[in-house]
Amino acid sequence: MPVTIFFCYAREDEALLNKLKAHLRPLQRQGLIDVWHDRDISAGTVWEQEINRHLNAAQIVLLLVSPDFMNSDYCYGIEMKRALERHERGEARVIPIILRPTYWNGKPLGTFQALPKDGRPVTSSSWDDQDAAFYNVTEGISKVVKQLTAFALDWILTGHTEGVTSLALSADGETLISGSADRTIKVWNLSTGKEVRTLTGHTQEIWSLALSADGETLVSGSYDRTIKVWKLSTGKQVRTLTGHTEGISSVALSVDGETLVSGSEDRKIKVWNLSTGTDVQTLADQASSFLRVALSTDGETLVSTSGDHTIEVWRVYAF
């Protein structure tokens, strides 16, 4: 989706507005931006309502600053005030564009990073020509557009019948695994947004998931007090680990997929050898339940936390 841009300007600066629009045209042709100003109002439209509608929807508001802009009660007192309110709430980005020399450095405009560079007016003789100034403005706007489009919604995945309680993502970002209160685990292809398969076997909600670095081994921890190990490529269950006496709140897997650490409502942390499915070690009872665990990439540091407001760091010598 293109980023929507609203121009707030004085009519006396319309020629400079048109030059800026020409410089922004490449961004518009690439589908990166969509621009609007009051000359786009259709005949028969209530002009003030139309301006407010576009101003309230814009993601970027460009304030084309000049003596006439500063002198305009409508530009300065109404449009700019509304734009600044939206900026303060994080709803839009306000960028002052200094077209002609005028005093703008006081509040509120003086607190903003203006364009062109160093706030030099577009018409200033310090620029080789106006095209150079507008090119600098366009570069600055392009950077903001890239920031606003750094995250773009690709998919909304549906299929679970109850809340999604846990997630795991493959190292290549192509496969997503979701665990749910509906007692199922779903595997998704993020290139297509399609569900690949559903894993069943747990009898209570799935609280935690862990995926090995090679994407082959999936581990799930459930409120049903069990940990299940799956071969992700086939969706087959390899084994079920039991030993905790309450629900499994967290699981962490070593990079090689050989060592598993689990935290439970029973206030215990267990270390497992996944090759044999054996409980290698149980760490001393923790101060509180709902344990969360994390394992470093090299497998040498284990971190745990619980409801007692503390974080414990464990040095792992050998499992």
pLDDT, position 115: 96
What pTM was computed for the model? Answer: 0.62
In angstroms, the CA 25 to CA 138 distance is 10
Please check the confidence at residue 287 and state whether its pLDDT lies above 80. no
pLDDT, position 142: 96
Token pair, residue 109, equals 């405009």
Please check the confidence at residue 76 and state whether its pLDDT lies above 80. yes
pLDDT, position 44: 43
What does the pLDDT look like over 115-133, one tens digit per residue?
999 999 999 999 999 999 9
Identify the CA nearest to 38 among candidates 71, 4, 9: 9
Backbone angles phi, psi at 302, to 5 degrees: -110, 130
**Parallel, antiparallel, or unpaired for β 3-8 and 60-65?**
parallel
pLDDT, position 43: 40
Domain 164-315: what homologous superfamily?
YVTN repeat-like/Quinoprotein amine dehydrogenase (2.130.10.10)
pLDDT, position 202: 97
What is the rounded average pLDDT of the residues 288-294? 79
CATH of segment(s) 3-148: 3.40.50.10140
AA letter at 50: E
What does the pLDDT look like over 134-163, one tens digit per residue?
999 999 999 999 998 877 677 899 999 999
DSSP readout, 195-260? EEEEE---SS-EEEEEE-TTS-EEEEEETTS-EEEEETTTTEEEEEE---SS-EEEEEE-TTS-EE
pLDDT, position 255: 85
* Cβ atoms 81, 99 nearer than 8 A: no
* Cβ atoms 257, 230 nearer than 8 A: no
What does the pLDDT look like over 11-63, one tens digit per residue?
999 999 999 999 999 999 999 999 987 764 444 444 577 888 889 999 999 99
Model confidence at 318, pLDDT cuts 50, 70, 90, reads low
pLDDT, position 45: 45
Lowest mean pLDDT across 142-156, 166-180, 228-242: 142-156
Identify the CA nearest to 187 among candidates 118, 226, 234: 234
Q: What are the residue ranges spanned by the domains of the chain?
A: 3-148, 164-315
What is the rounded average pLDDT of the residues 174-182? 97
Distances (CA, A) of 126 to 6, 65, 100, 130: 27, 18, 12, 10
What does the pLDDT look like over 194-210, one tens digit per residue?
999 999 999 999 999 99
In angstroms, the CA 118 to CA 120 distance is 5
